Amino acid sequence: MASLSLLSSLHHSTSAHLILRSPQPLKPRAFSTSIRAQAVPALTQDGLKKLAADKAVDYVKSGMVLGLGTGSTAAFVVDKIGGLLKSGELKDIIGIPTSKRTEEQARSLGIPLTTLDDHPLLDLAIDGADEVDPGLNLVKGRGGALLREKMVEAASKSFVVVVDESKLVSGLGGSKLAMPVEVVQFCWKYNLVRLQDMFKELGCEAKLRVNADGKPYVTDNFNYIVDLYFETPIKDGLGAGKEIGKLEGVVEHGLFLDMATAVIIAGKTGVEVKSK
**Catalytically annotated residues:** 149
Of 87, 107, 132, 163, nearest in space to 256 by CA: 132
Euclidean distance between CA atoms 75 and 187, whole angstroms: 34
Buried b (16+ CB within 10 A) or exposed e, 100-136: ebbbebbeebebeeeebeebeebbbbbbbbbbbbeeb
- Spatial CB neighbours of 181, under 8 Å, sequence gap ≥ 6: 191, 195, 225, 226, 227, 228, 244, 250, 252, 253, 254
**Residue ranges with strand state E in 88-139:** 94-97, 122-127, 131-132, 138-139
The answer for residues whose C-beta is within 8 angstroms of residue 111's C-beta and 6 or more apart is 68, 78, 81, 82, 85, 93, 95
Beta-strand pair 262-267/270-275:
antiparallel
Amino acid code (one letter) for 217: Y
* Residues contacting 99, CB < 8 A, separation 6+: 70, 143, 144, 145, 148, 149, 220
Residue 97 β-bridge partners? 68
Phi and psi at residue 57, in whole multiples of 5°? -65, -20
Please name every residue paired with 187 in a beta bridge, in sequence order, or none if there are none. none
Q: Which amino acid is at 196?
A: Q
Cβ atoms of 190 and 249 closer than 8 Å: yes
